[in-house]
Amino acid sequence: MTTAFRARRGLRLAVVVVALSLTAAACGKDKSPNAGSNKPADNTNTVEQGRDLKTVQAGKLTVCSDIPYAPFEYQENGDLKGIDVDLVRAITGRLGLSADFRDTDFDGIFAALKAGQCDIIASSVSITDERKKQNDFSAGYFKIHQSLLVRKGEEAKYKDLPDLKGKTIGVQSGTTGADYAKAHASGAQVKEFTGADELFTALKAGQVDAALQDQPVNAYNAKVTGQSVVANVFDEGAPEEYGFVIPKGKDALKKAIDNALSQVRSDDSYRTILTNYLGSTAGQA
């Protein structure tokens, strides 16, 4: 066998090996779960979904939100900030839309959604069976428990609800905190306020002896003001979970928001947003 023949045979073998390798790779791709099907990829094209949505304002997602409710929605130096605000903006960015927030008192926020004044509610709304009778919800995005906030220096005096018998507990109208107080604060007067700011002002002024509402909101007030303390967190049961509220029958809107929210939660966006406001993900998955 000549040297030239051996070289030519070696070249042919190399070509065959490469061809077989490419064929095997192609066959491997054909066996993937999505091959030969119309199953959408994980990175669903949310921009196309957003483009097809019929919203209150073309090109925008109009959002009803009870402002302020720090750290989820509040104004700082004229800018709207908060966990809900940043999450909605991250979602609308993936949908190719802009977000237009409309300040709406919580006790009228569901009526505003039903009347078509906004596309969704983003306002730290707990998902409950009662609310689901009239509304749809996005996937949950934040878990919470109810808590008791008191003036600094009175945390030993008012450690739990039985300590407030004959006293006044402040709550925000229409919230699960108000429901919890009415169900568990036997012997105490429950006084309702329209907004969180009014509730905190009443506590500071001594008009109420404690405020019962969502733990992260009470904890944020205690941290920022230095004048209040979270005396108790009622974590004996399953946590509540926040969701974005969507009108019944708006299936395309719900699907688009859930897909975009899933993308936000699957990358660093969700963790970064929570860390910016809470200093950690606060036990959120």
User: pLDDT tens, 180-192?
Assistant: 999 999 999 999 9
Q: How far is it, in rounded angstroms, from Cα 151 to Cα 158?
A: 9
Note the helical H segments in the chain: 3-30, 46-52, 83-95, 109-114, 129-132, 176-184, 196-205, 215-225, 251-266, 269-278
Q: How far is it, in rounded angstroms, from Cα 280 to Cα 71?
A: 13
Cβ–Cβ under 8 Å, residues 232 and 160 = yes
Of 168, 177, 172, nearest to 147 (Cα)?
Answer: 177
Average pLDDT across the chain, whole number: 87
Indicate where the chain has its CATH 3.40.190.10 domain(s). Answer: 46-143+240-278, 146-234
DSSP string of 223-246, one letter each residue: HHHSSEEEEEEE-SSPPEEE--EE
Rounded (10°) angle between helices 251-266 and 269-278: 80
pLDDT beyond 70 at 135: yes
Q: Give the mean pLDDT of 235-263.
A: 97
Order the strands of the 189-193 sheet from edge to edge: 189-193, 168-172, 210-214, 146-151, 228-234
Q: How far is it, in rounded angstroms, from Cα 218 to Cα 148?
A: 8
Rg (CA), the chain: 27
pLDDT beyond 90 at 12: no
Architecture of domain 146-234: 3-Layer(aba) Sandwich (3.40)
46-143+240-278 under CATH 3.40.190.10, yes or no: yes
CA atoms within 13 A on the CB side of 177: 33
Q: Which residues contact 98 (CB under 8 A, 6 or more apart)?
A: 59, 60, 61, 92
Looking at this protein, which amino acid is placed at residue 159?
A: K
What is the pLDDT confidence band of residue 2, given thresholds at 50, 70 and 90? Answer: very low
